[in-house]
């Protein structure tokens, strides 16, 4: 898993080692990762995402950018 980590998640990984977590155990790493990084989009926010459809004539790139903004709005990320 370490090979796919970027940015702040590398510091997170190092904190697992420092705090004595068994990083050789997938169950431990998965549990800690989900506890710290998992989020769910629920309720009205989730249903709003379902309505984000590609518009007629809209490029895939533009659609992706627009849908990413919608996800960001729902998740409360800055």
Q: What is the pLDDT of residues 56-76, one digit of tens each?
A: 888 888 888 877 777 776 655
Whether 45 has a pLDDT exceeding 80, the answer reads no
Where residue 24 falls among pLDDT bands split at 50, 70, 90? very high
Residue 21 corresponds to which tokens in the numbers above? Answer: 């977590």
Whether 22 has a pLDDT exceeding 90, the answer reads yes
Round to whole Å and give the CA distance between 54 and 62: 9
Strand ranges for the chain from DSSP E: none
Where residue 1 falls among pLDDT bands split at 50, 70, 90? confident
């Amino acid at each position: 898993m370490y090979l796919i980590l970027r940015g702040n998640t590398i510091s997170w990984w190092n904190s697992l080692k420092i705090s004595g977590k068994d990083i050789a155990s997938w169950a431990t790493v998965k549990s800690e990762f989900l506890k710290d990084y998992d989020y769910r989009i629920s309720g009205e926010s989730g249903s709003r995402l379902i309505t984000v459809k590609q518009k007629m004539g809209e490029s895939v790139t533009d659609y992706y950018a627009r849908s990413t903004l919608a996800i960001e709005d729902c998740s409360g990320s800055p």
